[in-house]
Chain A
Amino acid sequence: MEIWNRHFECMERDELKKVQSERLRETIERVYYNVPFYRNKMQAAGLGPESIRTTDDLHKLPFTTKQDLRDNYPFGLFAVPMSEIVRVHASSGTTGKPTVVGYTRRDISTWSEVMARTLTCAGADRNDFIHIAYGYGLFTGGLGLHYGGEKIGASVIPVSGGNTIRQLQLLVDFGGTVLACTPSYALFLSEAIEEAKINRDDLKLRVGVFGAEPWTENMRREIEEKLRIKAIDIYGLSEVIGPGVASECLIQDGLHISEDHFYPEIIDPNTLEVLPEGKTGELVFTTITKEGLPLIRYRTRDLTRLRYERCRCGRTTVRMEKCLGRSDDMLIIRGVNLFPSQVESVLLEMSEIKPHYLLVVDRVNNLDTLELQVEVDEAFFQDKISQLQTLRQKIQTNLESTLGLGIKVNLVEPKTIERSEGKAKRVIDKRKL
Chain B
Amino acid sequence: MIIHQLSVFLENKSGRLTEVLNALGSENIRITALSVADTSEFGILRMIVSDPQKARDILKNRQFAVNLTDVISIMAPSEAKYYAMVLKILSDLEISIEYTYAFSVGEKSVIILRSSNTDEAIKALKAHEMELIKASDLYKI
Residues of A near B44 (CB, < 8 A) are 383-385, 388
Residue of chain A at shortest CB distance from B64: A413
- Give the distance in Å from the alpha carbon of A98 to the alpha carbon of B91 in the complex: 69
- Give the distance in Å from the alpha carbon of A255 to the alpha carbon of B114 in the complex: 55
Residues of B near A71 (CB, < 8 A) are none
Contacts of A378-427 to chain B: CB distance below 8 A: 378, 381-385, 388-389, 392, 410-416
Which of B2-10, B24-32, B78-86 lies at the binding interface? B2-10
- Known contacts: A378-B60, A388-B9, A388-B42. The answer to whether A414 contacts B65 by CB under 8 A is yes
Residues of A near B67 (CB, < 8 A) are 381-383
B83 to chain A, nearest CB (A): 21
B39 touches A415 (CB 8 A): no
Residues of A near B46 (CB, < 8 A) are 383
Residues of B near A377 (CB, < 8 A) are 65
Residues of A near B41 (CB, < 8 A) are 392, 410-411
User: What is the total number of residues of chain B having a CB less than 8 Å from a CB of chain A?
Assistant: 21
Q: Give the residue among B7, B10, B67 with the most A Cβ atoms within 10 A.
A: B67
* A376 contacts chain B at the CB level, 8 A cutoff: yes
- Give the distance in Å from the alpha carbon of A389 to the alpha carbon of B41 in the complex: 10
A385 touches B65 (CB 8 A): no
Return the contact of A378 from the options B7, B65, B98 (Cβ within 8 A): B65
- Give the distance in Å from the alpha carbon of A411 to the alpha carbon of B16 in the complex: 15
B20 to chain A, nearest CB (A): 11
Residues of B near A415 (CB, < 8 A) are 63
A93 to chain B, nearest CB (A): 34
B1 to chain A, nearest CB (A): 18
Q: Kindly list 20 other residue pairs between chains A and B, CB separation below 8 angstroms, not including A376-B65, A384-B44.
A: A378-B65, A381-B7, A381-B65, A381-B66, A381-B67, A382-B7, A383-B46, A383-B69, A383-B114, A392-B41, A411-B9, A411-B11, A411-B41, A411-B42, A413-B9, A413-B64, A414-B63, A414-B64, A414-B65, A416-B11
Q: List 8 A-B pairs, Cβ < 8 Å.
A: A378-B66, A381-B7, A381-B67, A388-B9, A388-B44, A410-B41, A411-B42, A413-B10
Which B residues form the contact surface with A (CB < 8 A)? Answer: 5, 7, 9-11, 16, 37, 39, 41-42, 44, 46, 60, 63-67, 69, 98, 114
Q: Which 8 A-B pairs have the closest CB atoms?
A: A383-B69, A381-B65, A383-B7, A415-B63, A378-B65, A376-B65, A414-B65, A381-B9
Which A residues form the contact surface with B (CB < 8 A)? Answer: 376-378, 381-385, 388-389, 392, 410-416
